[in-house]
Amino acid sequence: MTLRIPLIAGNWKMNGRKAESLDLARAVAAGVTDRCELLVCPPAILIPPVAEALAGSAVAVGAQDCHFEAAGAHTGDISAAMLADAGCSHVIVGHSERRADHGEDDSLVCAKTTAAHAAGLVAIVCIGETLEERDAGRTLQRISAQLDGSLPDVVTSDNTVIAYEPVWAIGSGRTPTPEDVAEVHAHIRGRVAARYGVGVADVMRILYGGSMKPSNAGTLLEIDGVDGGLIGGGSLNAKDFLAIAMSCP
């Protein structure tokens, strides 16, 4: 029996208007499967209506980012507590687009993870190498550094999910080979075991993200150590997103 229920998480990024997003959310809720847990992460402004539309369904709602402080003078930012209040159970932190667009580094991601935990949210902590790092043979080194820097000292399998997203695979249509994914996931789990204990590592969910779609989801999701997916483009269409969910072994 597997210890880890797969999580299929949709990262809608900066896409959608209210009406179409509510249609998408409702269509996802109508296709819930017992193969996995389902999560959608709308743009922040759409969280309240999407959470309302999904209330009572088995689809959870998450955010794409949070501030590292609980409250204060931070114009334009949103705290983890506000997200929880709006109906979120999860928040993505350290996505490579946030790291690139907003200069977020590992220590900031670590502070955001702590803030998410303090607000009772599950943090989905994203890590992944660039193409340059992969080509230079530095993938595992980079993954280790990001893990060490982005995770706080206290982490449980209940409050943290790790998403391995090779930067070069995001939105590109390209994916690593199953062997490469398996190697990185095993490396991540080993690193989690060394820092937090085998008991935590055994039940910690490690997602794969980057160009996952219905046509490759089966191959990616059956890789040993892959416990679900973080899906961008493929989550904007309910049929595709649910087809990915149905690909969970």
Q: What distances in angstroms separate CA 114 from CA 119, 120, 122, 144, 236, one per listed residue? A: 9, 10, 10, 19, 29
207, 162 in Cβ contact below 8 A?
yes
Taking the complex as a whole, how short is the minimal distance between the CB of residue 46 and ligand PGA, in angstroms?
17
CB of 234 to ligand PGA, least distance (A): 5
What phi and psi, each to the nearest 5 degrees, are found at residue 63?
A: -110, 170
In three-state secondary structure terms, 201 is helix
Based on the residue annotation, tell me whether 95 is a catalytic residue of this protein. yes
**Which residue's CB atom is positioned nearest to ligand PGA?**
232
- The nearer residue to ligand PGA, 151 or 212, going by C-beta atoms, is 212
Q: Cβ–Cβ contacts within 10 Å for residue 190, how many?
A: 14
Establish whether 187 is a catalytic residue: no
3-state secondary structure 86-130: CCCCEEEECCHHHHHHCCCCHHHHHHHHHHHHHCCCEEEEEECCC
**Which residue out of 95, 117, 185, 187 is catalytically annotated?**
95
Which of 37, 129, 165, 187 is an active site residue?
A: 165
- If the CB atoms of residues 81 and 122 are measured against ligand PGA, the closer one turns out to be 122
Which of residues 87 and 232 has its CB atom nearest to ligand PGA in the complex? 232
> In angstroms, what is the minimal distance from the CB of 81 to ligand PGA?
24
Contact set with ligand PGA (CB under 6 A): 11, 165, 170-171, 209-212, 230-234
Residues designated catalytic:
95, 165
